[in-house]
Amino acid sequence: MKQKAVAKTENPFVPKPYKILEFYRETPDTFTITINMAVQHAPGQFVQVSLPGIGESPISICSDSREHIKLNIREVGNVTRALANLKKGDTVLVRGPYGKGYPMESLKGNSLLIIGGGCGVAPLKGIIDYVENHRSEYKDVQLYLGYRTPDDIIFKRELDEWVKKYHLNVTVDKEAHGQFCYDVKEGFITDALKKSDITNENKVVFVCGPPVMMKYVIQILKDKGFNDDQIFISAERLMYCAVGVCCHCMIRGKFCCMDGPVFRYDEVKDFKND
């Protein structure tokens, strides 16, 4: 008897091994790895990165390439510290990509305002790389990037290039010393934004950073006349499965892992106290 063909489906929980093509130390506590994972993805999506016997962490993809993905990681605990000990040629386990990214297709023709704080600049770099590959589809690009000190500035190599192409504003909370190809102002990124003459005309905004920074940025944008549906935020909730099973990242019926991590602000603005 002829056996019925069974369609093979990928098990979304099973990670695969990938090689580290580059390990780059960005700051004393952050590094960027490039891995040979050739996968279609949208800016803002994330992967689950794991090391056997240690654990697994969700990390945003911070690049836009069909040949590899880049991950910028801050060392905060077991998994991220163990990942920091890897080197070029080592293997890491990855599953994904997961989540909904920024809807770049539907935002064509707009000017982009990209506002990031600290490690929150990582997912936003995915947008910047995407725009680089689709430059004619978007108008003006303005970057507002805030860090604690000059030593905390991630993507210094890329900033040297971004300053030539985009309107770049970099702030550090304190001690604006050091030699840079771009101007670094002392103060919060919210101060720079407040002082700017930005209007909401034909613009979409992407914000990612610590919750307190996002709160003030959104308030400033609203004061400047931006509507909630012009603003996209990225929400990082503790999560395990990344595929809507464990329910750990659920906020009022929405899964951060599947419905997010990118949300249009009007969809989640009432969740802020959850």
Task: For residue 85, state whether it binds ligand FAD (rule: CB under 6 A).
Answer: no
Quote the Cα angle for 87-49-247, to 5°: 165
Q: How far is the CB of 46 from ligand FAD (least distance, A)?
A: 4
Q: Is 233 in the site for ligand FAD (CB under 6 A)?
A: no
DSSP annotation of 265: H
Q: Which residues pair with 34 in a beta bridge?
A: 22, 70
Q: Does 122 bind ligand FAD (CB under 6 A)?
A: yes
Stretch that binds ligand FAD, among 11-19, 86-94, 166-174, 233-241 (CB under 6 A): 233-241
Tokens 């300053």 belong to residue: 163
46 vs 144, beta carbon nearer ligand FAD:
46
Would you say 222 and 207 are in contact if contact means Cβ atoms under 8 Å apart?
no
Distance CA 66, CA 68 (A): 6
Which span (16-24, 76-84, 134-142, 195-203) binds ligand FAD, by CB under 6 A? 76-84
If one asks whether residue 209 binds ligand FAD (CB under 6 A), the answer comes out as no
Give min distance, CB of 106 to ligand FAD, in A: 21
Q: Which is nearer to ligand FAD, 54 or 181 (CB)?
A: 54
Asked if 236 touches ligand FAD (CB under 6 A), the answer is yes
Extract the runs of DSSP E, i.e. beta strands, from 125-202: 141-147, 167-172, 184-186
Q: What is the contact mask toward ligand FAD in residues 44 to 73, using x (rule: CB under 6 A)?
A: --x--------x-xxxx-----------xx
Q: Is 94 in the site for ligand FAD (CB under 6 A)?
A: no
Please, how many CA atoms are within 13 Å of residue 162, restricted to the half-sphere of its CB? 27
Please tell me whether residue 119 binds ligand FAD under the rule CB under 6 A.
Answer: yes
Closest CA to 232 of 110, 134, 78: 110
Give the binding-site size for ligand FAD (rule: CB under 6 A): 21
Which segments within 221-261 are labelled E, that is strand?
231-234, 250-251, 254-255
Nearest to 271 by CA among 253, 247, 252: 252
Q: Which of 42, 51, 79, 262 binds ligand FAD (CB under 6 A)?
A: 79
N-terminal to C-terminal alpha carbon distance within the chain: 57
Of these, 63, 80, 142, 230, which contacts ligand FAD (CB under 6 A)? 80
Question: Is the CB of 74 or the CB of 203 nearer to ligand FAD?
Answer: 74
Q: Identify the residue among 261, 262, 263, 265 touching ligand FAD (CB under 6 A).
A: 261
248 vs 257: CA distance, rounded Å: 9
Could you tell me whether strands 111-117 and 203-208 are parallel, antiparallel, or unpaired per DSSP bridges?
Answer: parallel
Cβ-based neighbours of 33, under 8 Å, separated by 6 or more: 20, 22, 23, 24, 70, 71, 73, 83, 86, 92
Q: Does 78 bind ligand FAD (CB under 6 A)?
A: yes
Binding site for ligand FAD (CB under 6 A): 46, 55, 57-60, 72-74, 76-80, 119, 122, 236-239, 261
